[in-house]
Chain A
């Protein structure tokens, strides 16, 4: 990490050495003048990767787009400057901006499947970028460059492959084509906006390796916008942490993770699950204030347990605590108690009784068998994680258990009695004692029904009277750490985390014995995820629930489940106690999955992903 340290010292001296320099950037809502982003100062040296980390709504994408001189509709770049080399991006006119984008600075968006034109061959799209920017003298030269850049992103540059359409590529390949387009004209700066969010871990690992190589070999400065700390730990030289539109801490990656100074950064690192450390993840309640509602002093003070009177009056100035490590906090260096990680405490992993058992379960989807011969058990008071990549059949299996997917054979036994295939054919008591929490809290609550009505629904089905139900709902809302008065609110008044709490309350109100959680935190920010996991673990212990936690997030499993079931291609490839399986995987698939999962601890002890041997990539 020597180049990063050198870069930061230089950044104060002369801006010409940096590939991109952002000074006092201020971005506001055009209509109201409320600040979305303020006082942002960043500098990235050639060949350096800067990770810009923050929760959704913190303004990190807005900063990323400003590097391209772009502001979303209704948003105005109100002050400060963005320099790339000698050009000031905020002062260019439209024509100059068009010329600069793709040539001087390029952008890789989040979703590869929507960012490529589905009607054009990838060759055409690549050539188009270069042609527009007048890159290369002739079509021949450009075609050569196209093949070359395909090689750089580890895709075959064969004629046959180049003539494919985007839909003929896998998600990872699509994202690498996106990278190829971004790198085609050899830009000096590249902005990456969560380019691996929708990808499986193994694909993500490939894409990250590619990014790392391209930036270091061609001396491209990269701004990597993400909420995923593990990815940042593996990829970035330096990290900037954003909260409510301001950068609260900035420094070399290792320092940020080893010795965070700002309490918010401490919470972030404490909330991130890590595959190699068995620390409890710690959540933080509340949400970041939105633009226009930000307080006078430090925006984090309202959620900060270390806040002092000063914090509420004046936003702290930037202080340099070490070379290249700056922080904006009066209490920099102090540690909030809650972020001190403890070992995982599971509920009594008793083997009292089997709550849920699967025997030879096979599931079919449109006539095709996708899940084969599944056998496992979940004991009372135990959490079993069902892990697999997308397409492994884990969701189909969990929906079959919940009675939402009918096309299965075999036996699913709940508390000793086998269940019918469809929830409709199951007796009410059975339906109520197995409950399902859905992945996306934005779609699992009826938008026109109040929280109280939604949570009361299972009780009403069970035949509980209206007043009785109302009282129970109030109690349940308190249990999931919401106020009972939330019953009158409607889903669109709630944040994602609050919605998921409501969904959990709804699933627990009928006192089920088995709870199925289907990727319940994948739509949530890391701090909210940690808070929801904390809640689930506590409820599971208090109520003695058997829990089946379906996820693709291996690090999360570590801090959550006693036992883990690893699925691949519809089969169980490994089953056993979490610590054992994750520490000593026996199956090739599990080993690969573990190796591809970015880990903070491993990145800090053994260097970044980039130092791993380059793997040959088959054209899938």
Chain B
């Protein structure tokens, strides 16, 4: 009985070994081949650029007055040149718009990041341990889930005051259960696979199993969910600002702008509301398109892997 070691398994294409080595294509790469993802990325990038660097191109200062309040751009009552007219306190709408995106984007991003970290940890622990710990964690998540997100945030703000940290925490924590559920759901099937048992047999510490064995295998659904949550958080954060809860009422903020200029919608100065509304809508459409591309790619990647 001998073992043929000279004959290689690779009869297929008669390629010499080593075959070209590559990591299984990630969701990102597959998603980028789709037009929806590319368009989404372009829209999002443009708006993010505008929100972060627009202020350096702003014609006036953030709180600089340019004439009488709520005047269209061609009104003689504003003594300075203005692209979109003046706002409710006589400030330049375009300048306020260029300043107002950053706080919303930063808050939404940080809130999503917080939810992502918390949700992933809770979801992985629940999926790996099952049993009582799973029940306790997931029921706790259900309780948070039972409150409408914006109401939960408002309650917290009403109780402790509107600071940036608090708003981010409130939105982040209320987003956590949604991520935790997705993570748990996808990780449960990974836990069942034998390579997890193999590393248990080696006695790897729990946290390493969560980090090295489970996490890399749920990145696809996690990415999709994180993107969706970012889209939602932008809306929620803007919504909270719209309701008047911002850390600094003087600084520009898209949500606040929409509220402050509502009266102009009926008159001849609609830009104060329209500009931020268009921006927020485009931003959510952009991130939504990316998310859509990611989820399609994720489904495709999973299918490929299943066939292998």
Residues in chain A within 8 A of chain B (CB atoms): 280, 282, 285-290, 293, 302-303, 338, 342, 345, 402-404, 423-424, 426, 428, 431-432, 435-436, 438-440, 442-450, 454, 457-458, 461, 478, 481-483, 485-486, 488-493, 495, 497-498, 506, 531, 534-535, 537-538
Residue in contact with A302 in the complex, picked from B4, B14, B193, B194, CB distance below 8 Å: B14
Q: Is B200 in the interface zone, CB < 8 Å from A? A: yes
Complex CA distance for A436 and B203, rounded to whole angstroms = 13
Complex CA distance for A448 and B217, rounded to whole angstroms = 7
Chain B 191-229 interface mask (CB, 8 Å, partner A; 1/0): 001110111111110000000010011000000000000
Q: Is B268 in the interface zone, CB < 8 Å from A? A: no
**Which residues on B sit within 8 Å (CB–CB) of A423?**
200-203
Q: Is the CB of B3 within 8 A of A489?
A: no
**Which residues on A sit within 8 Å (CB–CB) of B250?**
none
**Which residues on A sit within 8 Å (CB–CB) of B202?**
423, 431-432, 457-458, 461
Instruction: Choose the segment among B18-26, B79-87, B232-240 that binds chain A (4+ C-beta atoms closer than 8 Å).
Output: B18-26
Q: Is B7 in the interface zone, CB < 8 Å from A? A: yes
The number of A-B residue pairs with CB atoms under 8 Å apart is 124
Q: Is the CB of A402 within 8 A of B8?
A: no
**Which residues on A sit within 8 Å (CB–CB) of B22?**
490
Complex CA distance for A616 and B216, rounded to whole angstroms = 53
Check A489/B21 contact, CB under 8 A, given A286-B11, A495-B9.
yes
Q: Is the CB of B195 within 8 A of A345?
A: no
Check A492/B305 contact, CB under 8 A, given A424-B200, A483-B18, A537-B1.
yes
Residue in contact with A428 in the complex, picked from B11, B14, B203, CB distance below 8 Å: B203
Say how far B304's CB is from chain A's closest CB, in angstroms: 8
Residue in contact with A538 in the complex, picked from B3, B197, B198, CB distance below 8 Å: B3
Check A492/B308 contact, CB under 8 A, given A287-B12, A290-B12, A483-B18.
yes
Chain B 10-41 interface mask (CB, 8 Å, partner A; 1/0): 11111001110111100000000000000000
Residue in contact with B3 in the complex, picked from A286, A457, A481, A491, CB distance below 8 Å: A481
17 A–B contacts, CB within 8 A, in A order: A280-B1, A286-B11, A288-B11, A293-B13, A345-B1, A404-B201, A423-B203, A432-B202, A438-B198, A440-B194, A443-B195, A444-B193, A447-B217, A488-B18, A491-B308, A492-B305, A493-B21
Residue in contact with A285 in the complex, picked from B4, B194, B216, CB distance below 8 Å: B4
Complex CA distance for A288 and B9, rounded to whole angstroms = 9
**Which residues on B sit within 8 Å (CB–CB) of A444?**
193-195, 197-198
Say how far A478's CB is from chain B's closest CB, in angstroms: 8
Complex CA distance for A537 and B1, rounded to whole angstroms = 10
Q: Is the CB of A461 within 8 A of B203?
A: yes
Residues in chain B within 8 A of chain A (CB atoms): 1-5, 7-14, 17-19, 21-24, 193-195, 197-204, 213, 216-217, 304-305, 308
Check A481/B4 contact, CB under 8 A, given A293-B13, A303-B11, A440-B194.
yes
Q: Is the CB of A431 within 8 A of B201?
A: yes
Residue in contact with A443 in the complex, picked from B7, B193, B203, CB distance below 8 Å: B193
Q: Is the CB of B198 within 8 A of A448?
A: no
**Which residues on B sit within 8 Å (CB–CB) of A538?**
1, 3
Complex CA distance for A506 and B7, rounded to whole angstroms = 22
Complex CA distance for A286 and B305, rounded to whole angstroms = 22
**Which residues on B sit within 8 Å (CB–CB) of A432?**
202
Say how far A504's CB is from chain B's closest CB, in angstroms: 12
Q: Is the CB of B17 within 8 A of A404?
A: no
Q: Is the interface of B mostly helix, strand, loop or mixed?
A: loop
Residue in contact with B1 in the complex, picked from A404, A482, A490, A534, CB distance below 8 Å: A534
Q: Is the CB of B12 within 8 A of A293?
A: yes
Complex CA distance for A498 and B8, rounded to whole angstroms = 10
Closest to A448 in B: B216
Say how far A452's CB is from chain B's closest CB, in angstroms: 10
Say how far B49's CB is from chain A's closest CB, in angstroms: 33
Complex CA distance for A495 and B8, rounded to whole angstroms = 12
Complex CA distance for A383 and B295, rounded to whole angstroms = 48
**Which residues on B sit within 8 Å (CB–CB) of A483?**
8, 17-18
**Which residues on B sit within 8 Å (CB–CB) of A497?**
9
Say how far A378's CB is from chain B's closest CB, in angstroms: 18
Closest to A450 in B: B21
Q: Which 10 A-B pairs have the closest CB atoms?
A: A485-B18, A444-B194, A438-B194, A488-B21, A492-B308, A443-B193, A286-B11, A448-B216, A481-B5, A446-B195
Complex CA distance for A311 and B3, rounded to whole angstroms = 24
Q: Is the CB of B213 within 8 A of A446?
A: yes
Complex CA distance for A435 and B198, rounded to whole angstroms = 9
**Which residues on A sit within 8 Å (CB–CB) of B204?**
461
Q: 19 more A-B contacts (CB under 8 A) besides A282-B1, A286-B10, A342-B1? A: A285-B8, A287-B12, A293-B12, A302-B11, A338-B4, A423-B201, A424-B200, A428-B203, A432-B202, A439-B194, A443-B193, A444-B193, A446-B213, A447-B217, A447-B305, A461-B202, A492-B24, A492-B305, A506-B198
Complex CA distance for A483 and B8, rounded to whole angstroms = 8
Check A489/B19 contact, CB under 8 A, given A289-B11, A424-B203, A498-B9.
yes
Complex CA distance for A152 and B11, rounded to whole angstroms = 47
Say how far B19's CB is from chain A's closest CB, in angstroms: 6
Complex CA distance for A489 and B20, rounded to whole angstroms = 8
**Which residues on A sit within 8 Å (CB–CB) of B201?**
402-404, 423, 431, 435-436
Closest to B15 in A: A293
Complex CA distance for A482 and B5, rounded to whole angstroms = 7
**Which residues on B sit within 8 Å (CB–CB) of A439?**
194
**Which residues on A sit within 8 Å (CB–CB) of B10?**
286
Q: Is the CB of B9 within 8 A of A286?
A: yes
Residue in contact with B7 in the complex, picked from A303, A486, A488, A489, CB distance below 8 Å: A303
Say how far A89's CB is from chain B's closest CB, in angstroms: 28
Check A438/B203 contact, CB under 8 A, given A483-B8, A534-B1.
no
Q: Is the CB of A490 within 8 A of B24?
A: yes
Residue in contact with B12 in the complex, picked from A289, A342, A486, CB distance below 8 Å: A289
**Which residues on A sit within 8 Å (CB–CB) of B24?**
447-448, 490, 492
Residue in contact with B18 in the complex, picked from A282, A303, A442, A486, CB distance below 8 Å: A486
Q: Is the CB of B17 within 8 A of A534?
A: no
Say how far A273's CB is from chain B's closest CB, in angstroms: 14
Q: Is the CB of B23 within 8 A of A535?
A: no
Q: Is the CB of A490 within 8 A of B17?
A: no
Q: Is the CB of B199 within 8 A of A457?
A: yes
Closest to B196 in A: A446
Closest to B204 in A: A461
**Which residues on A sit within 8 Å (CB–CB) of B7?**
285-286, 303
Closest to A488 in B: B21
Complex CA distance for A342 and B1, rounded to whole angstroms = 8
Say how far A425's CB is from chain B's closest CB, in angstroms: 9
Residue in contact with A445 in the complex, picked from B2, B4, B195, B216, CB distance below 8 Å: B195
Say how far B17's CB is from chain A's closest CB, in angstroms: 5
Say how far A188's CB is from chain B's closest CB, in angstroms: 35
Complex CA distance for A457 and B200, rounded to whole angstroms = 12
Say how far B15's CB is from chain A's closest CB, in angstroms: 10
Say how far B124's CB is from chain A's closest CB, in angstroms: 16
